[in-house]
Structure 1
Amino acid sequence: MRRTVFSAVIVSMLLGVIPVQAQGAEPGPIIAREILFGNPDKASLRISPDGAKISYRAPRDGVMNVWVGPADDPDAAVCVTDDRLRGIRIYFWAYTSEHIIYLQDVGGDENWQVHAVHVASREDRNLTPFEEIVGPDGEPMTGPDGKKLKPRAEIQEVSHKFRNEILIGLNNRNPQHHDIHRLNILTGDMELVQKNDQFMGFQTDDDYRIRYAMKMTPDGGSELFTPEGDEWKSFDQIPMEDMMTTGPVGFDKTGQVLYMIDSRGRDTAALTAIDLQAGHKKVLFADPRADVSRIMIHPTERTIEAAASEYMRVNWKILDTSVQPDLDYLKTVADGDMDVIGRSLDDKTWAVQFVMDNGPVRYYLYDRSAKRARFLFTNRKELEGLTLSRMHPVSIEARDGLNLICYLTLPYWTDPDQDGRPQQALPMVLWVHGGPWARDSWGYDPFHQWLSNRGYAVLSVNYRGSTGLGKQFTNAGNLEWAGKMHDDLIDAVHWAIETKIADKNSVAISGGSYGGYATLVGLTFTPDVFACGVDLVGPSNLQTLLETIPPYWAPALTLFTSRVGDHRTEEGRKFLASRSPLTYVDRISKPLLIGQGANDPRVKQSESDQIVKAMQEKNIPVTYVLYPDEGHGFGRPENALSFSAVAELFLAEHLGGRCEPIGDDFKGSSITVPTGAEQIPTLKDALAG
């Protein structure tokens, strides 16, 4: 049932915020969206291989760039990159300790180019400046839309043995396959290491040798091959049911021990070591409840010293007693989940971060000799003095008995004893993760903090098909898009209603990518459950989704067809239509907000365009927000901020939560609203300036 609060919204806008009914203590102050979704102050700490310098991403003139400073004087850091538009998101140190390597695309198209910046001179060299893919006829290749295809570079291997060189993959010859090149970061010279016209990917070692190649099998599994001269010899096979939970992760120093995350013969993926000469396999660590998801490896010896799994929280297992004192000490430094995110080559200095649920990320430098961690900074200083809500891990049983690991956040003032139960039922947002082969985790989440601060309960569900919780759980999602995967979401909503966490008449569904798809499914397959929905870059038609995947995903096509449905057969197309929200657009009866990036290479703009058009043809109202300079998600903080402002107005209108006025949150954004601005109070006026 739609809850109309239009008059209250307008009146409250004039006063600045929308009030919500106090429950227990008085509601806390509204946290500005700028604090939650604007640029972080400092993030992505790294340490140079020689241990002398640190680096981090921070804004310069409002755009995220890389800053470098002495490890013993971080306040002396200076900006060494000069991005003025999109911001740098992916970077690392070269083993020269004098260069920063970063990747950049254009407008979110994910066609990455590799850049090297000399830290001292700040000279920036684009190492892969290719703008077109040249076909066998010598002409630029074009896609189905007639536009020129652009190449995409990927980092293949970075080894301390070759300070001036890295291995990259580059598809500037064949859009579906990446050739492997040896790239000199000082000169830009490239040497072809492996031409590729058949493989999905390669495993290389610290000596920059091709050790294995991987190819998908028709049933959705994969086969590993080893090079023998000009031929390839089959080495191993990974069955379809293990494909999402099994794969090589690297070699030891000798190159004769292969480390793998492997679920074959078991449910949860274990960390294993295979002696390639003797053929022996040893299990180093396994958790019966969750897959091994992280490893801690020595920077030069390449021995695995610790591994972690994640059931509800991250759990580290020490495998090398030499790091026991270090990890024991680091447990005492700060609350939250600890991760070693960088190490100097001499292993004397570590970069460490602590993630907590009710505060910003905390970064430290750890001196192993002194057994002392020195605090550097948090990623969002303005959060430090604020009271934030806690995230509660909960286990919910699905209708068929499957255990769903979920995360619940409540406005802190509604839960004074912090037991994860509000004093009375709240409006709730079901926030669905993307992937779907990914997972939700415990820790600080800007969406959970934003929505709980506005008065909503927020629930995130690891529905079947999510990864990290064993192959049976992941495979339970095969061919269950809009089926049992959606049943899990509905079961979680029913649990929240039955436990008096959620008001059954005030539940919204929202998410990005698969989460956006789930939103559309929620409003078409189960429209009576939800009061409204917010879809970010979600596919509406599974057939057209699979027909328009990026060309470099083509080698992995059977992974999608075996788990989503096969668009290449008549039977498969009928099945995909039966699981596509577009097929049931006439069932939409609740308000819908859609956000899309025009350059999205994964979920094309046409996915949003076609459902908006279908709704318009049936006179069903919808608000469509489109960003011409974004891709699969909103990378520019100005755009993320503007969309959150629109979504906040939308949710306040239909769930009745608090709302911060738009104010200047459209400044610098490329936001456009092709249709439906009139559906959201004050939006048209804000767009008009």
Structure 2
Amino acid sequence: MKYLAIGAALALGLAACQPADQAAPATSEAAAPAVAQYDAAAFFMTTSFGMASSAGFAFSASDERILISSDETGVFNAYAVDPGTGDRDALTGSTTSATYALSWFPNDDRALVTFDGGGDELSHIYVRELDGRLSDLTPGENVKAQFIGFSPDGNDIWIATNERDAAAFYIYAYDTLSYESGYVFENSDTLQIGDVSPDGRWLALVRNRTSADSDILLVDLAADTPEQVLITSHEGNIAYGVYTFTADSSALVYATDEHGEFNQAWTYDLASGERAALVTADWDVSFVTYSPSGRYLVSGINADARTEVTVTDLDSGEALALPDLPAGDLGSVRFSRDETSIAFTIDAATSPSNIHLVELASQTHTQLTQALNPAINEADMVDAEVVRFASFDGVQIPGIMYRPHGSSADNPVPALVMVHGGPGGQSRIGYSAMIQHLVNHGYAVYAANNRGSSGYGKTFFHMDDRRHGEEDLNDIVAAGDYLRSLDWVRDDQVGVIGGSYGGFMTVAALAFHPDAFEVGIDIFGVTNWERTLASIPPWWESFREALYDEMGDPATDAERHRAISPLFHADTITKPLMVIQGANDPRVLQVESDEMVAAVRANGVPVEYVLFPDEGHGFRGRDNRITASEAYLGFLDTYLRGDGEAAE
């Protein structure tokens, strides 16, 4: 599992290979349609909507309100949505820190929300009181907290915090009336917390030994002396993870890649220890959840960068019938308390996530939100297509292609290879304001899933272990060559862009393959692996060993880390570079970008540097995202498509 991206990647599938000559989008001979151009603000005025946490209650106690997060004001806040009308009431009103909805309380209209300190990732959990006040349940200067759920009687909130040990998350129960807390579990072994069973008896923990090998341990919290019991004894490399417990607390639903290339969902019976396959496919099983009573099973499959969701009625064994819905991927399926309706999101490349509601008995469908800015004609945006090409050694590399309207052999366009974070992330099909803005202004974008990406099988996933900046970087260089082979792409105008690990790959491409791309845009990317791996946040302790196994231990692999770090090879960079950084970033420290910018400028190479004082690792404020997107376009217009003279 690969961890520079947020969270632990559990997707481990192998994509079917497709010849490159069959993968390229066909060139149209028809006249190019007239397409309006929009500024970045138009695309980012599109509203982002998200459902409350799957660990909590998305529907209020009366089922009369749905809890969501939205950035309609420019900053994420929590809202209550009327499922009958779609009307929204703001529950929080932050103008600075992104605030995300977690759960309604079991028996009243108080809500739990979370936010950090301007991107520092030290998230606290707050109660939104009935009168609108926010009460911090987890105060402390360096405290990070995670919501787990409610006790079965609804009298306690289970929260994991690192208040006693910065590297370890202990579980506490907070009384829902007094907010006083007490220990539930002392996580002195700094294990990753998986889930707590609905009856409050069982705790599932994960020990991440390496990126390919992990274990699950169970704790009976009702025992006089709770002990950790290993339930995944095995030989060799097998990755295990936790999805959830069944609604009746009789079984753990866990992830495993022991039966082939793909991540499957299996059950472990807590009484007998028997195991059985629950959800399998020719792709990764991404998630498994249950409705409140357990009657309905919700599962998601990562099918070639799209999510396929199935809701199964376990009483009949049949998939739940749904009415005709807009095109796109379903996500965040949440049942009402009485299970008569479901809320969910639908997302597509040209249509951002909206909240939808279906009443099961009548099959009535209602779209509760309108995310797309009405100033944008959806026809002016471009859909995404999965495209594969043969890399330098013949390995098939999948990616997502966004081709500008009107591009053709007679009208070739500049292009960008986009590199995802991770290192084990995955570029997926869905709405991106940044991508649509660039494509709307005539830049093709190819979001490459280089070897080491999740979603295409464990063999593909582990091809870059301890080889980062080598074959995976060669895949990105080969992606640039592939774009140049397309007759509708300008072969002298191909750049590279990426964030986090993708930012590292961007600068590494300019440093180690100085003629491969005309420009690069580094978005909070690692440039000094020695420093980054030595300064990871303490709350990553549960997967430090796995991270070091994959990337190398700073104590023993410093020579390799220095060899792949672009900072120490900046003298080879000759192409224009843009660097974007958040001052509060706890993962890639600002000093990395500061030093990289200074080193490249010393070569006499054009460098543009945009620093956001109120952001961390990933920009949450809309104004900042707009500023960054306009900066990308201005840089590309000058140094990729233009004459290289900076605009006055």
In the alignment, residue 169 of structure 2 is paired with which amino acid? H
Question: Cα distance, 1:282 vs. partner?
Answer: 1.6
Q: Does 1:28 align with 2:35?
A: yes
Deviations 1:104-163 (CA, angstroms, capped at 9, x unpaired): 111210100101113x422321111222xxxxxxxxxxxxxxxxxx1111122345x243
Aligned residues: 609
| In structure 2, distance between residues paired with 1:651 and 1:542 | 27
| In structure 2, distance between residues paired with 1:435 and 1:295 | 23
Go from structure 1 to structure 2 and tell me whether the alpha carbon gap of 1:410 and 1:256 turns closer, same or farther (over 3 Å shift). Answer: same
Tell me what 1:253 maps to. 247
| In structure 2, distance between residues paired with 1:462 and 1:445 | 16
In the alignment, residue 70 of structure 1 is paired with which amino acid? D
Q: Counterparts of 1:628-643 in structure 2 under 5 Å?
A: 628-643=613-628
Q: Does 1:301 align with 2:273?
A: no
| In structure 2, distance between residues paired with 1:327 and 1:542 | 48
| In structure 1, distance between residues paired with 2:288 and 2:333 | 11
CA contact 1:39–1:64 (8 Å) conserved in 2:
no
CA contact 1:428–1:456 (8 Å) conserved in 2:
yes
Tell me what 1:51 maps to. 63
Question: Cα distance, 1:490 vs. partner?
Answer: 1.8
Partner secondary structure for residue 116 of structure 1: strand
Q: Counterparts of 1:644-683 in structure 2 under 5 Å?
A: 644-656=629-641, 680-682=646-648
| In structure 1, distance between residues paired with 2:430 and 2:549 | 33
Q: Does 1:81 align with 2:92?
A: yes
Tell me what 1:601 maps to. 586
- 1:403 pairs, out of 384, 391, 396, with 396
Tell me what 2:449 maps to. 462
Q: Does 1:560 align with 2:554?
A: no
Q: Does 1:524 align with 2:511?
A: yes
Q: Does 1:374 align with 2:366?
A: yes
In the alignment, residue 264 of structure 1 is paired with which amino acid? E
| In structure 2, distance between residues paired with 1:39 and 1:479 | 40
| In structure 2, distance between residues paired with 1:151 and 1:634 | 21
In the alignment, residue 32 of structure 1 is paired with which amino acid? D
Deviations 1:37-89 (CA, angstroms, capped at 9, x unpaired): 246175547533542112433457654322224322333x3222131322324
| In structure 1, distance between residues paired with 2:109 and 2:235 | 44
Tell me what 2:466 maps to. 479
CA contact 2:313–2:320 (8 Å) conserved in 1:
no
CA contact 2:157–2:173 (8 Å) conserved in 1:
yes
Tell me what 1:392 maps to. 385
Question: Cα distance, 1:307 vs. partner?
Answer: 3.9
Q: Does 1:165 align with 2:177?
A: no
Go from structure 1 to structure 2 and tell me whether the alpha carbon gap of 1:405 and 1:323 turns closer, same or farther (over 3 Å shift). Answer: farther
CA contact 1:326–1:371 (8 Å) conserved in 2:
no
Tell me what 1:95 maps to. 106
Tell me what 2:140 maps to. 130
Partner secondary structure for residue 640 of structure 1: helix
Q: Does 1:111 align with 2:122?
A: yes
- 1:515 pairs, out of 496, 499, 502, with 502
Tell me what 2:347 maps to. 355
Q: Does 1:275 align with 2:273?
A: no
Question: Cα distance, 1:215 vs. partner?
Answer: 3.0
Larger deviation: 314-323 or 438-447? Answer: 314-323
In the alignment, residue 228 of structure 2 is paired with which amino acid? W
For structure 1, the 5+ residue unaligned runs are 1-21, 132-149, 416-421, 659-677, 683-689
Go from structure 1 to structure 2 and tell me whether the alpha carbon gap of 1:186 and 1:527 turns closer, same or farther (over 3 Å shift). Answer: farther
Question: Cα distance, 1:164 vs. partner?
Answer: 4.2
Partner secondary structure for residue 495 of structure 1: helix
Q: Counterparts of 1:438-453 in structure 2 under 5 Å?
A: 438-453=425-440
TM norm structure 2: 0.87
Deviations 1:321-375 (CA, angstroms, capped at 9, x unpaired): 6688874434x22112223532112111111222122223333211011111112
Q: Does 1:121 align with 2:131?
A: yes
Deviations 1:153-188 (CA, angstroms, capped at 9, x unpaired): 1122345x2434221111111111111101234332
Partner secondary structure for residue 377 of structure 1: coil
CA contact 2:312–2:318 (8 Å) conserved in 1:
no
Go from structure 1 to structure 2 and tell me whether the alpha carbon gap of 1:625 and 1:152 turns closer, same or farther (over 3 Å shift). Answer: same
Go from structure 1 to structure 2 and tell me whether the alpha carbon gap of 1:235 and 1:679 turns closer, same or farther (over 3 Å shift). Answer: farther
For structure 2, the 5+ residue unaligned runs are 1-28, 53-57
Tell me what 2:148 maps to. 156
CA contact 1:464–1:473 (8 Å) conserved in 2:
yes
| In structure 2, distance between residues paired with 1:126 and 1:250 | 27
Q: Does 1:37 align with 2:37?
A: no
| In structure 2, distance between residues paired with 1:633 and 1:202 | 24
| In structure 2, distance between residues paired with 1:600 and 1:23 | 47
Coordinate RMSD, CA, aligned: 2.7
Bigger relative CO (Cα 8 Å, ≥ 6 apart): 2
Go from structure 1 to structure 2 and tell me whether the alpha carbon gap of 1:32 and 1:155 turns closer, same or farther (over 3 Å shift). Answer: same
TM norm structure 1: 0.82
CA contact 1:293–1:468 (8 Å) conserved in 2:
no
CA contact 1:409–1:452 (8 Å) conserved in 2:
yes
| In structure 1, distance between residues paired with 2:555 and 2:81 | 54
Go from structure 1 to structure 2 and tell me whether the alpha carbon gap of 1:239 and 1:681 turns closer, same or farther (over 3 Å shift). Answer: farther
CA contact 1:275–1:281 (8 Å) conserved in 2:
yes
CA contact 1:352–1:364 (8 Å) conserved in 2:
yes
CA contact 2:96–2:118 (8 Å) conserved in 1:
no
In the alignment, residue 127 of structure 1 is paired with which amino acid? L
Partner secondary structure for residue 381 of structure 1: coil
Go from structure 1 to structure 2 and tell me whether the alpha carbon gap of 1:554 and 1:619 turns closer, same or farther (over 3 Å shift). Answer: farther
Larger deviation: 589-598 or 480-489? Answer: 480-489
In the alignment, residue 187 of structure 1 is paired with which amino acid? S
Tell me what 1:623 maps to. 608
Larger deviation: 643-652 or 290-299? Answer: 290-299
Larger deviation: 640-649 or 22-31? Answer: 22-31
CA contact 1:623–1:679 (8 Å) conserved in 2:
no
Go from structure 1 to structure 2 and tell me whether the alpha carbon gap of 1:218 and 1:354 turns closer, same or farther (over 3 Å shift). Answer: closer
Tell me what 1:139 maps to. none
Identity of aligned residues (%): 25
Go from structure 1 to structure 2 and tell me whether the alpha carbon gap of 1:162 and 1:201 turns closer, same or farther (over 3 Å shift). Answer: farther
Q: Does 1:182 align with 2:176?
A: no
Larger deviation: 505-514 or 639-648? Answer: 639-648
